[in-house]
Homo-oligomer: A and B are copies of this chain.
């Protein structure tokens, strides 16, 4: 029961939110957590949360086993996730039928950021969190990042801090609460709940957590591998309308125009919806879980499941020692991608309104055939290993030339599942007449159109969401 149901009171959305978010985005400094304290805290958390991670054979995994009948790698509780096979048939792309390994994690987890006005400025309660697959030590993570197995405590660890704010919503001010997909090449229909909850009351302090402004988070995004994937996706689902409001450059102006539906756009929102529906209707993708034993072109050794060519990714097993997590140590499988990915968004200004070139992309693990992806999202080595033609715009991005790079940082994917999954995230500005006639799977969208889609499930993929968080950080 929501707080107002019994009162017969008519209510509307919080109209003050865009300006309150803009104020937080403008605040590069915080009265609560200054930069010296912030850096010191990250260093200190890195000392505190040392993870020793060692590769082990699958046979040494505790409570994880390879099922004799299926060849699937699973936890003995049946919870967490499993590595299974996927059989895919599709009507597009260079390869139309294949089997592959995939992570099956049917449970819906929570990625939640708690926000609160402190001294009149919205702050986000961020966590310094180490994960076994992280490139460096801790990364800036959401307040809560919990699988259902975590928060129902299948592994009997400590309770997840601040979880209750996201579990009982009756009297909460919910800014965002939407289901979003994760990597559709690696996960079978995995989704997490992306939540932002605003509170007024006092919140218990905890050494792993600090209150940061949006302006501070935006600065942290410029560091390689520091703001984690879960933070990026939750930030991208933040209600919109504040973008570009605080900068003084022409990029800010173009962003602000792009966030405003009244500015207009190359395609109307009805046309964009119709384009997405067309792509969803025209592509046929059948993806079915099958036993890992029946997957062709992949083989398993004592300590690795990998593709014959070495491309795509391997499944490995690690042993983790730590003394500051919910439990002292554990072992688990991790996915180790091959190569460093290129994730790039081309943007251009049309009559002063910023547009982004997005790709209606098919990935076998998506719930609904296609999601909107960045202009380029690939690991070039995979194409080379298989001798395939490179995807559109990749060579343009790699050549770069003189186009301004508005954003260029190496960011990594979720370290709880992936071993050092690095991607170079870039936003590159091109001339207004660039790719005016884009291929049918590509369209130029204004930011307000992406923002509208982000309030709903499964339109925008996780790589594009990361880049939208980065785009919003530009001044």
Q: Are A278 and B169 in contact (CB under 8 A)?
A: yes
Q: Are B267 and A2 in contact (CB under 8 A)?
A: yes
Q: In the complex, what distance in Å separates the CA atom of A442 from the CA atom of B175?
A: 21
A178's partner among B4, B262, B277, B368 (CB-CB below 8 A) is: B277
A5's partner among B4, B169, B266, B280 (CB-CB below 8 A) is: B266
**Which residues of the partner chain B approach A176 to less than 8 Å between Cβ atoms?**
270
> Nearest Cβ distance between residue A258 and chain B, in whole angstroms?
11
- For residue A78, CB closer than 8 A to chain B, the reply is no
Q: Are B1 and A273 in contact (CB under 8 A)?
A: no
> Nearest Cβ distance between residue A172 and chain B, in whole angstroms?
8
- CB neighbors of B among A391-439 (8 A): 432-433, 436-438
In the complex with contacts A178-B273, A179-B280, A281-B108, A261-B12 CB distance below 8 A:
yes
* CB nearest to A169 among chain B residues: B274
In the complex with contacts A10-B351, A12-B262, A351-B10, A4-B267 CB distance below 8 A:
yes
Q: Are B264 and A8 in contact (CB under 8 A)?
A: no
Number of A residues, CB within 8 Å of B: 58
Residue-wise interface mask of A (316-335) relative to B, using a CB-CB cutoff of 8 A (1 in contact, 0 not): 00000000000000000000
Q: Are A273 and B353 in contact (CB under 8 A)?
A: no
Q: Are A275 and B13 in contact (CB under 8 A)?
A: no
Residue-wise interface mask of A (262-292) relative to B, using a CB-CB cutoff of 8 A (1 in contact, 0 not): 1111111111011101101100001000000
Q: In the complex, what distance in Å separates the CA atom of A432 from the CA atom of B8?
A: 8
Q: Are A268 and B11 in contact (CB under 8 A)?
A: yes
Q: In the complex, what distance in Å separates the CA atom of A178 from the CA atom of B269?
A: 12
**Which residues of the partner chain B approach A368 to less than 8 Å between Cβ atoms?**
367, 457
Q: In the complex, what distance in Å separates the CA atom of A1 from the CA atom of B439?
A: 8
Q: In the complex, what distance in Å separates the CA atom of A177 from the CA atom of B274?
A: 5
Q: In the complex, what distance in Å separates the CA atom of A370 from the CA atom of B4?
A: 24
Q: Are B264 and A10 in contact (CB under 8 A)?
A: yes
Q: Are B177 and A268 in contact (CB under 8 A)?
A: no
* CB nearest to A289 among chain B residues: B288
Q: In the complex, what distance in Å separates the CA atom of A354 from the CA atom of B236?
A: 33
Q: Name 5 A/B residue pairs within 8 A (Cβ), A-sorted.
A: A2-B267, A8-B433, A169-B278, A177-B278, A367-B368
Instruction: Show the binding face of A for B, using Cβ within 8 Å.
Output: 1-2, 4-6, 8-14, 106, 108, 169, 174-179, 193, 239, 261-271, 273-275, 277-278, 280-281, 286, 350-351, 353, 367-368, 432-433, 436-438, 440, 443-444, 455-457
Q: What 3 A-B pairs have minimum CB-CB distances, sorted nearest first? A: A10-B264, A177-B274, A174-B274
